[in-house]
């Protein structure tokens, strides 16, 4: 399973670095897309664990939250857009549950949590990138994440026993 990781990194890292270098709208679109992909994985892990989530809403709503946060401070009127995104995701999650035959506060809560837990912090990446030294901080953040992820991968390969979610990440362990 190391070869697919190496191939993904060989293509993905240069592309990500290119978009980070560009900044602006291209980087904002990339971050918003990454939020949607991360939330799709979040929904899959919950489903595999027997927990319900409103998949479409968590993916699209979380991407909307990330995009709205990332546009905060844009030259056109964007003030209040993050608050609108959070309010809409929350309201839609609750309303969808009210109209189901089997109501689930748990499903609504996991939907809102996912959209905010993933979308809100990722949405700040374009804002950080836009700061005076933001490019350097953004590069440092990603290099740190890559190093820690690689260390966790190799540590898990050597010491891990119990699989977390084999469909999403076949060799990921939780201890």
Q: What is the distance between the alpha carbons of residues 169 and 166, in angstroms, rounded to a whole number?
A: 5
What pTM was computed for the model? 0.83
In the predicted structure, residue 74 carries a pLDDT above the cut 90: no
Write out pLDDT tens, residues 148-165. 988 888 888 788 888 776
Average pLDDT of the residues in 119-141:
94
CA distance 51 to 112: 14
Q: What is the DSSP letter of 77?
A: S
Over residues 19-32, mean pLDDT: 93
The whole-number pLDDT of residue 75 equals: 64
The confidence score (pLDDT) of residue 26 equals: 93
**Model confidence at 77, in pLDDT bands (50, 70, 90)?**
low
Contacts (Cβ under 8 Å, ≥6 apart) of 28: 67, 70, 71, 126
Kindly indicate the confidence band of residue 38, based on its pLDDT and cuts at 50, 70 and 90: very high
- CA 140 to the chain's CA centroid: 18
pLDDT tier for residue 73 given thresholds of 50, 70 and 90: low
Distance between CA atoms of 2 and 171, rounded to whole angstroms?
10
Over the chain, what is the mean pLDDT?
Answer: 88
């Amino acid at each position: 399973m190391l070869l697919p990781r190496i191939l993904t990194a060989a293509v993905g890292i240069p592309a990500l670095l290119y978009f980070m270098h560009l900044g602006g709208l291209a980087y904002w679109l990339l971050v918003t897309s990454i939020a949607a992909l991360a939330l799709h994985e979040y929904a899959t892990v919950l489903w595999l664990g027997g927990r319900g989530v409103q998949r479409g809403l968590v993916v699209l709503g979380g991407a909307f939250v990330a995009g709205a946060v990332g546009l905060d401070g844009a030259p056109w009127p964007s003030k209040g857009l993050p608050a609108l995104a959070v309010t809409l995701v929350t309201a839609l999650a609750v309303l969808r549950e009210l109209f189901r035959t089997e109501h689930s506060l748990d499903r609504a809560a996991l939907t809102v949590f996912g959209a905010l837990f993933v979308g809100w912090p990722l949405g700040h990446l374009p804002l950080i990138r836009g700061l005076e030294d933001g490019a350097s901080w953004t590069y440092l953040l990603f290099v740190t994440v890559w190093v820690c992820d690689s260390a966790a991968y190799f540590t898990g390969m050597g010491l891990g026993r119990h699989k977390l979610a084999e469909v999403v990440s076949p060799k990921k362990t939780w201890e």
